[in-house]
Structures are given as C-alpha cells and as structure tokens.
C-alpha cells in the first residue's frame, strides 16, 4: 500500500488550496478528486460566471477557475486521482484511505468534500431541462446573470438562506417571491423581518412549485397552494432552491465528530477535527459562509495545521 504524508479528500477550492500549500511545503500530497460523487472541482463546476473571486476583475467561468486550481496544485507535485473515497479507517496510524481503485496509508488527512445544495425533483428543474438555465441552487453565484434581470424570481425555502438569497436577488429582479411550504418562516427573526418588510419581496405561504415551464430559459411556474389546492401559472425568470445543504460526510461513517446537520466539527479558529491528524476545510465544516474564497482560505489553514502537526510528529 502506498504511504503518503498527507492525503486530501475533495477537489473544490478548499482541497486544491490545501494541496498548493502542502505541496509547496514538500508534503507531496495525494488528492482524491472524486469521480461519481459529484463533479471533480466541486460546486463551481456547475456554476457559470464567477464574478466575486478576487483576482479576476472581469470574472471567470467556474470550471476554468477550478482547472486553474488543479493546475497550480499539480505544478508543485500534488498527485491528483479521479476516484471517490469509499471509506477511511481513522482507528489506525497511519490512517487508511480507500478509494474506488487505490488504497493509501496517510500520516495526516484533510477532508474537504464540500456540501451539496439540496434540490427538489420538480418537473422542469432537472439536468437537461432548466437546471442552470434559470433554475439554480445558489443566488449569490448565479443571481447577477443577465437572464434574471428585471424578471420575477422565485426562491424556494423558508430559512435564513432563502431570505438572504431573496434579499440579494432584489438587486436584479423586478420582484422576488419566497415560496414556502408552511405558514411561518424558519429564518431567524431579524432575517424574517427583513424579508417581510422588503418592498420587492412577497412570501407565498403554504405553497410549492409544481412545474417549471419555458423555452430556452424559464418563463413561468405552476404554483400550488397546499392549503386551498389552487394551482396557478405565474410569470417567472428564475427559480432558486434554498432548502439547505447536505455536507458530504457519509463516507466517514461516524469516525469524526459531526454536528446535528452532519457538518464536521472543528476546533474554533483551527481546522482540527475530533481526531488528531485529521483536518477539515471548506463547506464540509462551514454552513455559514460557503463561498469559494472562504473555502480556499480554510484549505490554506488546514494545510498549515497539517504541516505543523506532521512536523511535531517528526514527519517532514
């Protein structure tokens, strides 16, 4: 079995930034980029124009940005393999990381497998239908696109994310509707008030979207009121899912401390997890900020923490 000083699981901004730093520190990282678990490169691979990543004043396409992250990580000697990690054994030293085809022994481990925005299986919302053609799960990433300008936009959800995304979208939309399945928002009081008082936001209570319709882009939705059973067609320029994220921690099988929602718990101000030598970075441990730049920053922290920890263990 190949033995590595550092194995990184995940190939989003967090994983690749950790790899750049670790490779430059001569840790010769081995990075599992994923295969069937989601696009290698993470959530930015399903985004179009990224306009808020510093250093790219004219914006950059998500997939191109991730290609650049990978190229930079490989340039300094990261070994990238396109396999999913099936399981890890953290009860042994070195740890054992089992991928689809390879098994690697690791002195230290960085988990940066991200989180997946939850989607609803609505007619018209699927890949090949209007997914990424007016239907998305990230208003901050996609909301400024020209197709959404001066159109009525629909945000599904009732939590802080739904409110935050709705407020963000008011900058571009003619009107923003929050479509919520209940008659009360889950969002914190202050956020809920922000939505309820906003002149451009209307909450559609006890409601859901039955169908998304359009041609090249989204043109309308069928809105169902669960209380009355009434279904009506409304003009729409876009639909945004804001029903929460699912952290990608299933493969850890209870070996690391997770919070109630399944996010990895790290010590405050550090990337250290509940097991010595295992570090976490990016959205897998962050349900608050969830931005490419914050993920990249935490990837850097994880690499520095791992480097320090390995040097204390005498692994250089």
Q: Known catalytic residues?
A: 138, 141-142
Min dist. Cβ of residue 238 to ligand NAP (A): 17
Min dist. Cβ of residue 149 to ligand NAP (A): 24
Of the two residues 73 and 178, which places its CB atom closer to ligand NAP in the complex?
178
237, two tokens: 């320029």
Of the two residues 161 and 273, which places its CB atom closer to ligand NAP in the complex?
161
Of the two residues 36 and 288, which places its CB atom closer to ligand NAP in the complex?
288
Min dist. Cβ of residue 96 to ligand NAP (A): 33
Tokens 């209870």 correspond to what residue? 254
**What is the binding site for ligand NAP (CB under 6 A)?**
120, 157-162, 164, 181-182, 186, 243-244, 287-288
Min dist. Cβ of residue 160 to ligand NAP (A): 4
Are 299 and 21 a contacting pair, CB within 8 Å?
Answer: yes
Residue number of the CB atom closest to ligand NAP: 159
Q: Who contacts 122 (Cβ-Cβ below 8 Å, separation ≥6)? A: 209, 210, 211, 212, 239
Min dist. Cβ of residue 54 to ligand NAP (A): 21
Of the two residues 107 and 286, which places its CB atom closer to ligand NAP in the complex?
286
Of the two residues 22 and 162, which places its CB atom closer to ligand NAP in the complex?
162
Min dist. Cβ of residue 155 to ligand NAP (A): 10
Of the two residues 86 and 227, which places its CB atom closer to ligand NAP in the complex?
227
Give the burial class of 168: count Cβ atoms within 10 A of its Cβ; 0-12 exposed, 13-18 middle, 19 or more buried: middle
> What does the alpha-carbon distance between residue 160 and residue 167 come to, in Å, rounded to a whole number?
11
């Amino acid at each position: 079995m190949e033995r590595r000083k550092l194995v990184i699981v995940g190939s989003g901004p967090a994983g690749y930034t950790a790899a750049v730093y670790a490779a430059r520190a001569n840790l010769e990282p081995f990075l599992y980029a994923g295969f069937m678990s989601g696009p290698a490169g993470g959530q930015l691979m399903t985004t179009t124009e990224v306009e808020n990543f510093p250093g790219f004043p004219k914006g950059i396409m998500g997939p191109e940005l991730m290609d650049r992250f990978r190229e930079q990580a490989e340039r300094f000697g990261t070994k990238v393999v396109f396999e999913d990690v099936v399981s890890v054994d953290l009860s042994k030293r070195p740890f054992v990381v089992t991928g689809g085809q390879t098994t690697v022994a690791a002195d230290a481990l960085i988990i940066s497998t991200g989180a997946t925005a939850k989607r609803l299986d609505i007619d018209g919302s699927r890949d090949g239908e209007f997914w990424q053609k007016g239907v998305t799960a990230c208003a901050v990433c996609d909301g400024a696109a020209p197709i959404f300008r001066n159109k009525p936009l629909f945000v599904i959800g009732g939590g802080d994310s739904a409110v935050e995304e709705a407020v963000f979208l008011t900058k571009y939309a003619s009107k923003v509707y929050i479509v919520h399945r209940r008659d009360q928002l889950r969002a914190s009081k202050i956020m809920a008030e922000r939505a309820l008082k906003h002149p451009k936001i209307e909450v559609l209570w006890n409601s859901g979207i039955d169908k998304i319709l359009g041609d090249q882009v989204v043109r309308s939705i069928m809105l169902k009121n669960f209380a009355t059973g009434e279904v009506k067609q409304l003009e729409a320029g876009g639909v945004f899912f804001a029903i929460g994220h699912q952290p990608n921690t299933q493969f850890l099988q209870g070996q690391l401390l997770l919070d109630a929602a399944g996010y990895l718990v790290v010590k405050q101000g550090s990337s250290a997890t509940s097991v010595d030598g295992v570090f976490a970075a990016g959205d897998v441990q962050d349900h608050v900020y969830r931005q490419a730049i914050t993920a990249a920053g935490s990837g850097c922290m994880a690499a520095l923490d791992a480097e320090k920890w390995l040097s204390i263990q005498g692994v250089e």
